[in-house]
Amino acid sequence: MSHHQAASASGGRNSLDPISILYLEDSPIDLEFSLSLLTKGGIEHSVTHVETEGDYERHLREGCFDLILADYSLPQFDGLAALEIAQRLCPETPFLFVSGVIGEEVAIDSLQRGATDFVLKQRPQRLSAAVRRAMAEAAEKRARRDAEQERALLLEKEKARSEELARVNQRLEQFAYAASHDLQEPVRMIKVYSQLLARRYHENLDDEGRQYVSFIETGATRMDNLVHDLLSYSRVSHMDAETMKDVALADVLRDLVLPLFQPALAESGARVEIDGELPVVHADPERVSQVFQNLISNSLKYRRDVAPEIRIAATRKPDGSYWQIAVSDNGIGFEKEYGERIFGLFKRLHSGDRPGTGVGLALAKQIVEKHGGQIWAESVPGQGSTFYFTLPSVSRSLS
Ligand code: ADP
């Protein structure tokens, strides 16, 4: 491999290397003169000199040079043909005509066809500067192209990574779904039979035995809740566009949410107030009711020792495409730093005597995001929390 091939194969040239020149010229005197000008101009070079079309093309087929210099008018080979061959074989190599008198029209024509520059033999002192500029331009073009290629490569990698992530996620969701689905039955067996054991064999067990059975019962109930919540969580990913429709949130609350809380509200003296009008959104009513259920049951669960007050209000986003719904309470609240963590699966801040699986908010987040919305929370410990979520006001495809 000749040195000019090595240079082009590595995608660029070291600016300290002598530049490799393919020189098409039939006059040895002119050739020598041009090269001496380059040397004088401080441009180190190595030259391959050709005089015929055959030689010229053969060299280019073997590998590209850093620069091509060509006389415009050769006896049997015209400059434009040489230019055309160079563009076909080495489109990135700068190509300069070094020629005797040519008319202005011819010169312009050659530039339009892609020659980098031309230098008249009558004004040879321009040669070094023209070569320098051509080389700089070529280097810049190469750098730009490399950067573009790199960007394209990065984009491609990123795309592949996110596709892989989506696949992994999907497998995980399927796994969670299958696992929680299949666990329901055995968990229920343990729960039911431990309850039977506690009830029917109460007399046959001593205190210790009764305690063990009650531990099994507690464990089984907790597991049953977990499995149930996990199942609802993984079912969200199976949500499809068909269940989406225009729904009035006021109806959702009245029909699907508040009735469930009647006993709890009465018992705790809690109040749920709706501030102003609630909008019509484009959503799956069952899922949205689930979001409200989880938020309201949390507001009741994480209450202080005053009667819980829950407020629900909606505001329209400035561009009109989304509604923002706020559910606020006067409960125990949480520190700002936990504002994101609580939406993670199984993440709980307060446990102790407040039962829960840590799935509720993760499920709410999953549902809201499936609708293309967002969910977040603000809170002041000891004063209360507000949970916000957005839902599309108009029809849009599922995310
Ligand atoms: P769970 O209630 O089953 O623990 P969630 O996912 O519903 O699970 O909530 C996660 C955690 O966020 C809760 O354990 C609690 O610490 C905190 N949290 C949720 N809602 C509220 C609220 N309204 N006020 C204070 N803390 C809350």
Residue 380 CA to ligand 1 center (angstroms) comes to: 14
Q: Which CATH architecture has domain 242-392?
A: 2-Layer Sandwich (3.30)
User: Following CA atoms 14, 124, 109, 77 in sequence, which dihedral angle do they give, to the nearest 10 degrees?
Assistant: -90
The chain-wide mean pLDDT, for the chain, equals: 90
Read off the pLDDT of each residue in 258-287 and give the average, rounded to a whole number: 93
Q: Which two tokens stand for residue 238?
A: 């199976």
**Per-residue pLDDT tens digits for 69-96:** 999 888 778 888 999 999 999 999 999 9
Q: Whose CA is nearest to atom 21 of ligand 1?
A: 298
C-alpha distances out from residue 334 to 352, 359, 367, Å: 15, 17, 23
Pocket test for ligand 1, best of 292, 342, 367 (most atoms within 8 A of CB): 342
Residue 120's pLDDT band (cuts 50, 70, 90): confident
Residue 5's pLDDT band (cuts 50, 70, 90): very low
**Looking at ligand 1, which atom is closest to the CA of residue 350?**
16
**CA-to-CA distance for 221 and 217, rounded, in angstroms?**
6
6 has a pLDDT exceeding 70: no
Residue 395's pLDDT band (cuts 50, 70, 90): low
**Looking at ligand 1, which atom is closest to the CA of residue 329?**
23
Read off the pLDDT of each residue in 149-173 and give the average, rounded to a whole number: 93
Q: Are 385 and 377 in contact (CB under 8 A)?
A: yes
**Residue 283, pLDDT score:** 93
Residue 354 CA to ligand 1 center (angstroms) comes to: 9
Highest mean pLDDT range out of 165-169, 224-228, 306-310, 349-353? 306-310
Residue 163 CA to ligand 1 center (angstroms) comes to: 32
Read off the pLDDT of each residue in 345-369 and give the average, rounded to a whole number: 89
Q: Is 313 helix (H, G, I), strand (E, B) or coil?
A: strand
Residue 390 CA to ligand 1 center (angstroms) comes to: 19
Q: Whose CA is nearest to atom 3 of ligand 1?
A: 356
9 has a pLDDT exceeding 70: no
Pocket test for ligand 1, best of 293, 338, 348 (most atoms within 8 A of CB): 348
**Per-residue pLDDT tens digits for 134-143:** 999 999 999 9
Residue 362 CA to ligand 1 center (angstroms) comes to: 10
**Residue 14, pLDDT score:** 62
**CA-to-CA distance for 47 and 244, rounded, in angstroms?**
73
Q: Which fold has domain 5-125?
A: Rossmann fold (3.40.50)
Q: Which residues line ligand 1 (CB under 6 A)?
A: 294, 298-299, 302, 329, 331-334, 342, 347-350, 356-362, 385
**Looking at ligand 1, which atom is closest to the CA of residue 351?**
14
Residue 31's pLDDT band (cuts 50, 70, 90): very high
Residue 358 CA to ligand 1 center (angstroms) comes to: 7
Q: Are 342 and 350 in contact (CB under 8 A)?
A: no
| pTM tops 0.75 | no
Q: Whose CA is nearest to atom 8 of ligand 1?
A: 358
Residue 360 CA to ligand 1 center (angstroms) comes to: 8
8 has a pLDDT exceeding 50: no
**Per-residue pLDDT tens digits for 39-65:** 999 999 999 999 999 999 999 999 999
**Per-residue pLDDT tens digits for 191-242:** 999 999 999 999 999 999 999 999 999 999 999 999 998 888 888 877 677 7
**Per-residue pLDDT tens digits for 297-333:** 999 999 999 999 999 999 998 888 899 999 999 999 9
How many CA atoms within 13 Å lie on the side-chain side of 53?
14
**Residue 242, pLDDT score:** 77
Highest mean pLDDT range out of 2-6, 105-109, 188-192? 188-192
